[in-house]
Structure formats: C-alpha cells, structure tokens
Amino acid sequence: MHATFARHMLVTLTAFALSASAARLHAETLTGTQSGAEISPSIIDRYTPADVTETPDFQKHVIPLLGRLGCNGRSCHGSFQGRGGFILSLFGYDFKADHAAMTAGDAPRVDLEKIDNSLIIAKPTDEDMHEGGQRFEIDSWEHRVLHNWIKSGAKFDEKSVAVLDHLDVSPEEIVFNNASQQAPLTVIAVWADGSREDVTPLCRFTTNDEAVAAIDENGKVSSGEPGDTHVVVAYDKAVVAIPVIRPVSKLIGDNYPAVPTPTKIDQLVVQKLRKLGVVPSDISSDEQFLRRVSLDIAGTLPTPKEIDQFLADQDPEKRAKKVDQLLETPAYVAKMTTLLCDITGNNDQQLVNVSPMRTGPAQEWYDWIYDRVAKNESYDKIAAGIILARSRLEGESYREYCEEMSDMYRDGGTFADREYMTHYWARREFRQPEERAIAFAYAFMGVRIQCAQCHKHPFDVWSKDDFDEFKTFFTGARFTAQPPRFDAEAFAEYTKMIEELDIDKELRGNQQRREFAKKLQNGKTVPFPELVVTPVRSANANKNAKNKKNRNGIAARSPEARVLGEEAIDLRDYEDVREPVMDWLKEQDNPYFARAIVNRIWATYFSVGIVHPTDDLSLGNPPSNEPLLDYLAKGFIANNYDLKWVHREIATSRTYQLSWTPNETNRLDTRNFSRAIPRRLPAEVAYDIIQQAITGDKGMENYLTDIDNRAIAIPGTRINGSASYPLQIFGRSERASNCDCDRSEEATLLQTVFLQNDFSLHSSMANGNSWIGEVEKSMNPKLDKRSTQSQQIQAQIKRLYEMMGKGRDAVQRLEANSNKEKVAEVRERLAAGKRRLEVLRKQLAKAKASEEEVAQAVPSSFESPAQMVTQAYLRTLSRQPNEKEMTISLSHLKEADDPVDGLHDLMWALLNTKEFIVNH
C-alpha cells in the first residue's frame, strides 16, 4: 500500500473515537482485504508525481474532478443556461452530454494537438481569463488529470459506463470531544467489477448543520457547537450520510444516569441520547398526558369529568387504556382520515367532471378513506385501493358500471362502498405522467423527486433517466368523460345510452351534465366518467417506443421501465402497469412506503419527524435516529400495516409521555425526543377545541363521538361558513401540491387578533347554547331579574338622551325661524325629559346597589365561585388553577358588574393563553 495513504489512514484513526464497526472497516481498508481486491490510492497520490503516465477515466475521474472544481455547479456551467457558452449537466451525471460539450461542436473545449491550450485547462489556470477565477495551477495534480485524459484522446465509451456498487466511507460515525478537533473522511468506491479506489478527493462534501460540523473539499470534518448532525458524501450516483456527534455534557458512557426504558422506542431513543450526553426530562403529569394524548389522537380536549376520573384512577395501566379508548373513537378516525386526505391531495377545487351529480367528490373521497380507517383496514390495502383504482371491475361492462353508479346516486348509496377510490386520478393537476410521478412520490414514498426531472438529484441516487423510467408507470390510467374509441364495445354502449336519454347531442360540458343529472333523478341510467386503465400492447411496445406518439398524440410507452433504479420490468406482463409499483412498495425492504407513513404519524406526535421534513426521505437527509425509524417501519409491516399499532406504539412509550419542562442537558434539543416540545396545533384541531371549550356541557362531552360539525371532518379544501377564516389563518393544508409544506403550524399575528377580537367568537361564547349561557340560565332568578331591570333602565336612559339631543337641535332651528310658540313647547318637553332623567338615574343607582349585593351570587350548579373558576380552567387548559391563578380569577369575578360578564372575561383570557393554543 502507498505509504502516504497509509499514514493518512493512521492519522484518521487517532483523530476521534470510532465505533467497533468503523474500526473494523478501517482495518480492512488499510490492508485491502475486505473484498480481496487491492485499493487504488487516491488520485492526488497518483497524479502528484510529474512523471505520471496513467490515463484517467472520464466517468470516474474527469467528471468528478470538474465537480470538485465547481465547474458543474448551479452557479457555473451546471446551470440551465450554462456559462460562457459552455453547458455541463448539473453535478455531472449525464456523461454522454458532458463529453459532447467538451469535445464536439465548432469550438470544442479540448485541443488534442495543443493540449494545454484546451479551454478546460487554459481558462481555469488563468485568473484573468476565467470568470470563475483560477481553479488550479499548471503542473498540479488537477492539471495532470485533465492533461493526461486529453493526451490519451479525450475518450469516453458510453456503451461501457462503469457501475458503482457502493461507497465505503470511514469512519461510519464521528464523535468529537471538543471544539478544536478535526477528523478526515476516507471514501472508497467499490465498483461492480470488484475494483476499489480511494476517491476521497473526488467527492462532493456537504454538512447538514454548519454550526455543529463543518467539512471542507477534502473531506476533513471540523467540530463545532455541541449537538449532532450528518455530513454528506456524494460521488457518482452514490450518496452516503455520516453521523457527527459532539456530546452536550459529560454524562456519556458510564457517567450516564439510569433512565427507564420500558419500550423499544424508549431504548432506541435513549441509546442516541446516551451518546449525546442528553438526559430526558421527567415523566409528564397525568393532566399533561391526558390533554396531550387527547389532542394528538382525537383532536379533542378531555372534559372536566374525564379529567377528574383519570386523576382518581389508580390503575398503573390507565395511560395505555386511555390510548386504546381514544383509538376507538370517531374523532380518531376523522383526524387520521384528514391526515390521509392531506397526503393524497383531496382537493375539491381540482376535482371536476367526476360525475354528473354535484354531490361533492371531495366528500366521497373523504368518506371512502374514513370508512377504511374506521374498519382499521391495513394501510397497504388503503393505498392499493387508491393506487390501483379503476372504475369498472373485472368483467363488468360499461353499461353495468353506469347502472351501478346511477343506482348509487339515485338511491342515496355511498361511494365508500366502492372497491376503489378513483378520484385520486381525476385531479386537474394530475394528468401528465410527470405530475403523477412527483405527486405519487410525495404521497406514498415521502420523497421529493421533482429535481430528477431535469438533472441528477443532488442528495439522492436518482438521475433524469430514473425519473423518465419511473413516470412510465403512470401513463396507463386516464380519467375520461366517455369510453375511449379503442374500446369499441364500451363506446357503442355509451352512444346507445345517449340516444336512449333523448337529449340534445350538441350539448357538451356542464350543460350535458345538468341534463344527465335530471334524467338520473327521473330513474334513468346515465353515462358516467370513468378511470380507464390501458395495458402496454406488444404492437406499440418496441425499442424505440419512447420517441414515438400514437394517433391521439400521446407518447407511446416503452415495453420496459424501472422503479427508481431497480431492475427493468417488462410492462407487457401486466394488464395494469401500476401493479409493479404497488408490488415494489410492499416489498419487505422497500425504503420508502412504510417509513414514509410511520414518519408522518410520528411527526403528528412530536411536531418533527424522525426524518424532517417528512416528505424528504432522501439519502442526504437521513433520520435523526435511523434504528428508531427502522424499528417502527419493520414493526408496522410485521403487524400487517396496522395504523393503530403505530399510534399505540408511540403514545404508550415513555418518550412520548415525557414532560416539556427541560433540564440543563436537553433545553436545546428539538430533534432527539428527549422532552416534549410545545407545538402549535393543526388548524382543524385549534378551531375545534376553541368551539369545544366554549360550548355547553353536553356538547363538550359529545366531541369524541359527534364529529359531523367538526373541522377535522371537513372533506376537501373548500370551506363555507364561520370556520373558513380561522381555519385559513391557523394554516389548514391547501392540498395544492401534495407537499407536506401545504400545511402551516406557524404562529401569526392574525391568529392572535382572531382569538382576542373576533366578533363571531365572542358571540359564540355568550349564546344560549354555550357554557357561559348555561351558567347564566342557572344563576339565581333574582339576579337574572335585577340584571334585566338594570339593562332596561340603561336602555331607557340611552333613548332619553337621544330624544333630548333631537329636541335641542329643534330649538335651534325654531329660534332661527322666530317661531317662539314652538320653541316654548319644545323647551317644556326638554325640561320634562331632564326630570325623567333624574328619576331614571336614581332608579339605576338603586338597581346597581342591589346588584352589588348579589354580585357574588353563584350558579346553582356550583357550590362556590372557586368551583366555577376551576371548571373554566379544566375546560380550557385541562388542569386545576394554581393558588395565584385562583386568587386573581376570584378577584376579577368579585369586581365585575355581573358575574356572568366576569366569567366571560376569564374564559376569554384563558383562550388567549399560549398554554391553550399549543399542545405540550
């Protein structure tokens, strides 16, 4: 082995602590015995000598070198427009195009005769000549790589592109002890032919958190602030993330305190915290847990009665039993359905021409998912019902399908009974294969694949070719208003049906659909739009099919396709080309399907996912706790994709039940789950608990079961009524792009203004059906009477003031007209008004004095004012008030002119606390 390389590796071994697996990898790397193949030294070692004669490889060396120099970056020749007339593929993964850009055309960038006059050498070695400045020097190793490649003929054989098997990066984990440490990475490329090479100088290195760990172009990692992050290594098509940890305290290893880990989740979380020196917070109180779990599972506040019962319960399993209880409620079903509608994009503004009836396709979409969540149908079956959707079942004719649909709408049937949810494929923004591939990857894989439309994904393995192959699977399904003409039998049935209905054949669009709706209500069978699935036929499935179009102008499909870099699939073996995608998703080792949904569910409990953002499961954005995500995904699959299993596993863990109160070690932790993080509630839940807190006793108790009027049960994105504005300002998902970022849980000024000043909210708090309204009705009748009398006197005084004001105006007008008789008459009436005003003022004073005597009157349902205050706190904050809060509240009730007004003020103040509007 080259001596320089060996010394480099030995320095690496002493720079930081290595895990056992990383140490083994180092030993194998040093001897070259891991696979039996000798490791080629790095390109720096090989091309530093002046007499080097080796010819570099275009794919393995030249293109990665241009990446190291920044030539194919976004700000240089890798941008869409290129720079200086020279365009390279972004990050250099289109070898054919890049080779042509350098060697072809009227002004090639290489000169085979005068090598150093080649622009790819002359420009980057001349600071004045090159807009990007000097990138390397003559006689440097970079210069020799490019010089030797051009000298050998600047060759590239596109038919023999090398296949990278994987990258071995060592160490596998870096643990720093202080801010002054550095640690170099070593990257070994392992190719499919078994050859191995140190490619460290040719990699792209990035860090996910510059404050914790910086990394330079040579792969040297520098310690920063305490915490954890990943540095990302990219070479060829491979992307590898390496964890970097700097403990935040000395409580690591043997110094770490004993922490209970009753569940597998707790074991895996504490395993990571032990490395970080982070100690989890104490367990939450029963009150905190009950409120938190009720909001997270069912989007509902616990009732005061429920709180009292839970606190009194001495059963050590009561928390687990409460989780099970909540998972059996309609409120859980509605909240989980809303999450799945967010993910799959249930947007009624995108759904047009789905049926001749205006019954709301978004509601049908919601009902279809709700029905399956209520039955706890496995997630893979729910997904298959969407992904493999078709309108007609096997053997069903078009007429039979239309008869079934006509009967359903006419007789009040439910779309939820249908086997498939076809509306997913009917969205307007979901018609082109590219749109479908992107939205599908977001929804069912938690992946942002849109970058690969144009270039190699910067932080994952997918190239533009991978994207083009993947989108092929989404070309076989089409939502049509009528059967396609190639389905002669169905088209004939459609034509006959139109004739039987005896409607104007010239009608189209909405006019035709209105006529269909009328005929359907009169008992007729009418044509229905349908999702048509067409297989790849051998007739148009030839090797050049990608470049051809059929007679309808639609691109013909290749007979083969790959699911994001997997083995080629012959689509002619499938009646439905979506089937292999569904099969792939359900494979035990699929890296996306199960991980995406369990990660999203985890995020609903912790505000951040194990991978965050939750729709970015890329290699460059690794999990904060890989073993934890693996455990949940594998357990989910092993439990037959049971959604309740995921909720139960999370909610019964000690990790979920930790207090939000931080300690010295975890006060800055936001992604390792060492404590609960107070977090904004989803818009629907925020709106619902406001309504629940102010509603009457019976209404509050029914919130778990009576969900018809709850925001979490709103099907699509179109919202009518008083809920529209608050749901918008609290960040309800727009479902515009399938991106999880369509939902916002950020605090805004408008939210504060709504809670403080919204007229509809204040009106709802005081109406007869509200809790305050019920309290007012139950007050002492004497107090009700006196209160009414006082209000009546005040109303009389107000009217008298208005009349006297008009009288004074009249006097001025009459005096101007010298009408002395009328002036005297009006002045007499004004005098009588003043006398009456004095009487009313005395009556008002007397009424107020009487009201002050009964100001401390208590609702008949409460034994004391303190009990009323306690009830207000339980309704809103799900806890008892402390001594200070009780004192302040009682003082305000005592000072209020009317106890009901005082209670209204107290409820308003509680609704406007951070404690109410966040989950903690």
The token pair at 508 is 């189209």
Cβ distance 266 to 652 under 8 Å? no
Q: Where are the beta strands (DSSP E) in 54-181?
A: 164-170, 174-175
pTM of the full structure: 0.83
Mean pLDDT across 413-427: 91
- The residue with tokens 């050590």 is 316
What pairs with residue 427 in β-bridges?
351
What pairs with residue 220 in β-bridges?
184
Encode pLDDT of 776-794 as tens digits: 877 754 444 444 567 778 8
> Cα–Cα distances in Å, from 109 out to 95, 129, 301, 539, 757?
15, 14, 68, 44, 68
Mean pLDDT across 713-726: 83
Cβ distance 661 to 281 under 8 Å? yes
Q: Which of 5-9, 35-39, 163-167, 824-828 bottoms out in mean pLDDT, i.e. has the lowest?
A: 5-9
User: If residue 856 lies in a helix (H) or strand (E), which one and from where to where?
Assistant: none
Rounded to 5°, angle at Cα 125 from 123 and 127: 80
User: In b/e form, how buried is each residue of 542-576, taking b as 16+ CB within 10 angstroms?
Assistant: eeebeeeeeeeeeebbbbbbbbbeeeebebeebeb
The token pair at 63 is 């293109």
Query: What is residue 560's three-state secondary structure?
Result: strand
Query: What is residue 328's three-state secondary structure?
Result: coil
Q: How confident is the model at residue 500 (pLDDT cuts 50, 70, 90)?
A: confident
Angle between helical axes of 593-606 and 643-651 (0-180°, round to 10): 40
DSSP codes joined into one string, 158-201: GGG---EEEEEEESSSEE-SSTT-EEE-EEEEEETTS-EEE-GG
Q: How far apart are CA 580 and CA 516, in angstroms?
A: 37
Q: How confident is the model at residue 559 (pLDDT cuts 50, 70, 90)?
A: confident
Q: Which residues contact 337 (CB under 8 A, 6 or more apart)?
A: 366, 369, 370, 373, 713
pLDDT: which is higher, 657 or 52:
657
Q: What is the pLDDT of residue 911?
A: 94
Is the model's pLDDT at 2 over the cut of 50?
Answer: no
Amino acid (one-letter) located at 828: E
Q: How confident is the model at residue 46 (pLDDT cuts 50, 70, 90)?
A: very high
Q: Where are the beta strands (DSSP E) in 288-357?
A: none
What pairs with residue 86 in β-bridges?
83
The token pair at 692 is 């629940």
Q: What is the pLDDT of residue 27?
A: 39
pLDDT: which is higher, 566 or 361:
361
Q: How confident is the model at residue 459 (pLDDT cuts 50, 70, 90)?
A: low
Mean pLDDT across 425-440: 87
Mean pLDDT across 280-286: 97
Q: How high does pLDDT run on average in the chain?
A: 84
Q: What is the pLDDT of residue 195?
A: 93
What pairs with residue 245 in β-bridges?
175, 228
Encode pLDDT of 583-599 as tens digits: 999 998 899 999 999 99
Rg (C-alpha) for the chain, rounded Å, is 36
Q: Which residues contact 43 (CB under 8 A, 6 or more apart)?
A: 56, 61, 65, 141, 145, 199, 201, 202
Q: How confident is the model at residue 565 (pLDDT cuts 50, 70, 90)?
A: low
What pairs with residue 479 in β-bridges?
531
Mean pLDDT across 513-520: 80
| Residue in 187, 108, 97 with CA at minimum distance from that of residue 465 | 97
Q: What is the pLDDT of residue 732?
A: 86
DSSP codes joined into one string, 857-874: ---TT-SSHHHHHHHHHH
> Cα–Cα distances in Å, from 426 out to 230, 354, 379, 529, 829?
40, 7, 22, 10, 75
- The residue with tokens 């240089």 is 76
The token pair at 897 is 């002119």
Q: Where are the beta strands (DSSP E) in 440-547?
A: 477-480, 530-533
CA 267 to chain CA centroid, nearest Å: 27
Q: How confident is the model at residue 382 (pLDDT cuts 50, 70, 90)?
A: very high
Cβ distance 163 to 191 under 8 Å? yes
Q: How far apart are CA 85 and CA 90, in angstroms?
A: 15
Q: What is the pLDDT of residue 452?
A: 60
Q: How confident is the model at residue 553 (pLDDT cuts 50, 70, 90)?
A: very low
Beta-sheet strand order (sheet of 238-246): 174-175, 238-246, 227-235, 204-207
| Residue in 244, 117, 300, 367 with CA at minimum distance from that of residue 684 | 300
Is the model's pLDDT at 852 over the cut of 80?
Answer: no
Q: How confident is the model at residue 522 (pLDDT cuts 50, 70, 90)?
A: confident
Mean pLDDT across 159-170: 90
Is the model's pLDDT at 516 over the cut of 60?
Answer: yes
Mean pLDDT across 741-757: 85
Proportion of the chain above pLDDT 70, given as a percent: 88
Q: What is the pLDDT of residue 137?
A: 86
Q: Where are the beta strands (DSSP E) in 68-175?
A: 164-170, 174-175
pLDDT: which is higher, 439 or 159:
439
Query: What is residue 881's three-state secondary structure?
Result: coil
Residue 601 buriedness (CB in 10 A; 0-12 / 13-18 / 19+) = buried
Q: How confident is the model at residue 82 (pLDDT cuts 50, 70, 90)?
A: low
Is the model's pLDDT at 471 over the cut of 90?
Answer: no
Is the model's pLDDT at 7 over the cut of 60?
Answer: no
| Residue in 726, 826, 798, 659 with CA at minimum distance from that of residue 281 | 659
Residue 137 buriedness (CB in 10 A; 0-12 / 13-18 / 19+) = exposed
Q: How far apart are CA 889 and CA 868, in angstroms?
A: 10
Proportion of the chain above pLDDT 90, given as a percent: 43
Mean pLDDT across 751-778: 83
User: In b/e form, how buried is each residue of 407-436, taking b as 16+ CB within 10 angstroms?
Assistant: ebbbeeeebbebebbbbbbbbebbeebebb
Q: What is the pLDDT of residue 31?
A: 40
Mean pLDDT across 286-299: 97
Q: How far apart are CA 885 and CA 869, in angstroms?
A: 9
Q: Count how many residues are written for the chain.
A: 920
Is the model's pLDDT at 396 over the cut of 70?
Answer: yes
DSSP state of 542: S
Q: How far apart are CA 917 and CA 690, in angstroms?
A: 9
Q: What is the pLDDT of residue 608?
A: 94
Q: What is the pLDDT of residue 128?
A: 67
Is the model's pLDDT at 197 over the cut of 90?
Answer: yes
**pLDDT winner (highest mean) among 116-120, 280-284, 393-397, 727-731:** 280-284
Is the model's pLDDT at 683 over the cut of 50?
Answer: yes
Q: How far apart are CA 309 and CA 321, in angstroms?
A: 13
Is the model's pLDDT at 638 over the cut of 90?
Answer: yes
What pairs with residue 189 in β-bridges?
167, 197
Encode pLDDT of 566-575 as tens digits: 777 888 888 8
Mean pLDDT across 326-351: 93
The token pair at 342 is 């967010």
Q: Which of 91-100, 226-235, 425-434, 699-708 bottoms out in mean pLDDT, i.e. has the lowest?
A: 91-100
Q: Which residues contact 579 (CB under 8 A, 6 or more apart)?
A: 388
